[in-house]
Structure 1
Amino acid sequence: MLNSNEIYNFIQQGENETLEFKQSFSKVVIETLVAFSNTRGGKVLIGVRNDKSLTGVSATEETVQKWINEIKQNTEPAIIPDAETILIEEKEIVILSVIEYPIKPVSFKNKYFKRVLNSNHLMSLDELSNLHLQTINSSWDYYPDPNHGLEHISTRKIEKYITEYEKWNDTTVDYSPYDFLNKFEILRDNKLTFGAYILFAKDLCVVSDIQIGRFKSPTKIIDSLNLDTDIFTELNSIMTFIKKHLMVEFIITG
């Protein structure tokens, strides 16, 4: 979450590819969020004029939630922006933020926008086709994770993976753990992706929560396992659990 000084500095920079000012909420706000979602993500500051002056906006928590619902209902795939209200110079500014959406293109009432410099542009059929092809060739885990940073992954787990990688490929990795992840785009420009987080999460990882059980009957569980850590650890734990409950019969003849 950004503080008021950081937001004020953003405002002084003016509108750009990832920042837009609006005095009030309108359909243009939704168009802008769609354009951000189809490009690099961004923020709409409501309560700010184009000339960077602050007007403020009167918006209760219920009002902001109504805006979010309207955005969700009128976009496809549905986007749900993060919202926060910050007080600057005794004026309330509502900030609606979206990341670059993993599934593109995103539309608003069957219209597709992209962000170019400080304005929204209606996309051409060729641009829509190219964006769709890019989405097909990538997936959710490829995109930057806005909620986690390098401090949320374990260097020890990365090093352990590199050791296994060296064994599998009969090679030696002579660069740092983070350089290794950048090489394979598990990190992108040293920024954590969703994939990097679920592979090497340091602590709890609710994104990859798994529950597994051994049923004696349709309603009776005689053993269970709850996992909420990195995928590698979960996979090993699941295999151990399955082997524990395998019913194997040995028949010796002769």
Structure 2
Amino acid sequence: MWDKPQLLLWLANLLTALALLLLFYSLLFLTVHSPLFPVKRIKVDGNLEHITREQLQYIVKNEVKGTFFTLDLDKTRQAFEKLPWVRKVEVRRRWPDKLEVNIEEHRAIARWGAAGLVNVHGERFDAASGEELPVLEGPEGTEKEMVDGLVALTAALQPIGRKPTHVWLSDRRAWRMQLDKQLIVEIGRDSARERVARFVNAYSHSLARLQQPFEYVDLRYPNGFAVRLPDYRPEAANASAPVARPKPVRASA
């Protein structure tokens, strides 16, 4: 081997290349982990209505660790996503010392039962809210279906100036709603939108003209709906005739 100059030259070049590679790696490692490249600026963007400055400062102080190069973007994103009203977070580096954080908040559209909220995308989340919101109750996994139903019902009721404050969906997918915390409307399962549209069309020239309060409407009829009048008392034919039991009043569309 020692009498082969070509082989010795090749071996020397190889060792030199390895030494240079190790030197380059060492310099790169020291540069990446050097305190000379700290994250000096953190910019938070987003339409934030519920997330406070104090919450953001807590995350920055306790969760954002590392230099500009060693900062774990996934862990940083997950740290911000722990905040109750945060739906989605995007984190980016900006040379030479800036971190950009874009936060999307949940937009609550309703409450889910006694606890929890539902956003406009039909996603449940846990957060505190003093806002007056409609309540949804239904089987697990129907959040998106119920949000879509709430939006459709709200739009359908706009012409009569009423709005749903409580919506139920049964296991058999039958709909029921409460309007303005007073009137219960039984919609049923089949042709729900058509039934509500029929109710809205007939409301102004039937229900709105009733001289006594009503608390329950049943739309589960093929050509009309029934109304329960708590104070309804039919007039007796004479004083000695027995008084008939109150019956629902059916209004035809």
- With normalisation by structure 2, the TM-score equals 0.22
In our comparison, the structure showing a higher alpha carbon Rg is 2
Larger relative contact order, structure 1 or 2 (CA cutoff 8 Å, min sep 6): 1
- With normalisation by structure 1, the TM-score equals 0.22
**Structure number with higher helix proportion:** 1
